Amino acid sequence: MIDVATKKPLHVATDGGAGPYIMVSVNQLEQLRQLLVSANIPHYVEEEVVSLDGGPEIGVVDLGRGADPKAVQVLLDSAG
């Protein structure tokens, strides 16, 4: 899956202690959420969005406990 704002592939981040997460443009949150639901991947969309350096608003999707970041990355890559 390509981020429409950055034109780069989405990726599952595993840095920090919060667990795996995906950052995505706000206008793609629902599309990403539907992809995760269709694959039965537990997730939580954080309520707050951020804008880095005045850019487009970005949402954060936290993956559920026990989610396999590599498998989710394969799903994102296969979604185009």
pTM of this structure: 0.89
For the chain, the structural domain boundaries read: 12-78
pLDDT of residue 67: 87
Residue 22: per-residue pLDDT: 96
State the architecture of 12-78 in CATH terms. Answer: 2-Layer Sandwich (3.30)
Q: How far, rounded to the nearest angstrom, does the alpha carbon of residue 66 sit from its chain's CA centroid?
A: 16
- Name the stretches of the chain with pLDDT < 70: none
The span from the CA of 54 to the CA of 57, in Å, is 8
The answer for residues whose C-beta is within 8 angstroms of residue 16's C-beta and 6 or more apart is none
